[in-house]
Amino acid sequence: MGRLNVNLCGIPLDNPVIPASGTFGYGYEFAELYDINILGTFSFKGTTREPRFGNPTPRIAECPSGMLNSVGLQNPGVEKVISEELPRLKQVFRKPVMANVSGFSVEDYAYTCALLDREPQVGWLEVNISCPNVHGGGMSFGTDPASAAEVVRAVKRVTAKPVLIKLSPNVTDIAAIARACEEAGADGISLINTLLGMRIDLRSRRPVLANTVGGLSGPAVFPVALRMVWQVSQAVHIPVVGMGGVRTAEDVIEMMLAGASAVEVGAENLVNPLACRDIIRSLPEVMDRYGIASLDEIIGGV
Ligand code: SIN
CB 121 within 8 Å of CB 153: no
> Does the structure show a pLDDT above 80 at 137?
no
> Does the structure show a pLDDT above 90 at 133?
no
% of the chain exceeding 70 in pLDDT: 100
pLDDT per residue over 187-233, tens digit each? 999 999 999 999 999 999 999 999 999 999 999 999 999 999 999 99
Give the pLDDT of residue 71. Answer: 97
CB within 8 A of 288, min separation 6: which ones? none
Distance 186 CA to ligand 1 centre (A): 21
| pLDDT, the chain, mean | 97
Cα first-last separation, the chain? 23
CB 51 within 8 Å of CB 84: no
Residue bearing the CA closest to ligand 1, atom 6: 131
Q: Is 157 helix (H, G, I), strand (E, B) or coil?
A: coil
The residues pairing with 63 across neighbouring beta strands, listed in sequence order, are: 66
Residue 242 — very low, low, confident or very high, per pLDDT cuts 50/70/90?
very high
Q: Phi/psi at 16 (nearest 5 deg)? A: -85, 5
CB 254 within 8 Å of CB 226: yes
pLDDT per residue over 70-84, tens digit each? 999 999 999 999 999
pLDDT per residue over 151-168, tens digit each? 999 999 999 999 999 999
pTM for this structure? 0.97
Size (the chain), residues? 302
> Does the structure show a pLDDT above 80 at 54?
yes
Question: Which is nearest to 245 in space by CA: 215, 218, 271?
Answer: 218
Does ligand 1 lie within 6 Å of residue 72's CB atom? yes
> Does the structure show a pLDDT above 80 at 1?
no
Distance 42 CA to ligand 1 centre (A): 16
CB within 8 A of 254, min separation 6: which ones? 226
> Does the structure show a pLDDT above 90 at 278?
yes
Give the pLDDT of residue 80. Answer: 98
Give the pLDDT of residue 107. Answer: 96
Does ligand 1 lie within 6 Å of residue 46's CB atom? yes
CB 302 within 8 Å of CB 230: yes
Give the pLDDT of residue 204. Answer: 97
CB 274 within 8 Å of CB 17: no
Does ligand 1 lie within 6 Å of residue 43's CB atom? no
Distance 69 CA to ligand 1 centre (A): 8
Give the pLDDT of residue 140. Answer: 82
Instruction: Name the residue of 68, 127, 131, 139 to mutate for ligand 1: max ligand atoms within 8 A of Cβ.
Output: 131
Mean pLDDT lowest among 87-91, 135-139, 278-282 = 135-139
Residue bearing the CA closest to ligand 1, atom 8: 131
CA gap 72, 111 in Å, rounded: 20
Does ligand 1 lie within 6 Å of residue 211's CB atom? no
Active-site residues, by number, are 131
Mean pLDDT of 44-60: 97
pLDDT per residue over 84-131, tens digit each? 999 999 999 999 999 999 999 999 999 999 999 999 999 999 999 998
Question: Which is nearest to 86 in space by CA: 44, 38, 125, 40?
Answer: 44
Give the pLDDT of residue 135. Answer: 81
Give the pLDDT of residue 139. Answer: 82
Give the pLDDT of residue 11. Answer: 98
Query: Which domains occur in the chain, in start order?
Result: 6-297 (3.20.20.70)
R_g (Cα) of the chain, nearest Å: 18
Residue bearing the CA closest to ligand 1, atom 5: 131
Question: Which is nearest to 104 in space by CA: 70, 150, 54, 139?
Answer: 139
The residues pairing with 97 across neighbouring beta strands, listed in sequence order, are: 122
Give the pLDDT of residue 136. Answer: 73
CA gap 112, 81 in Å, rounded: 11
Question: Which is nearest to 180 in space by CA: 145, 147, 150?
Answer: 145
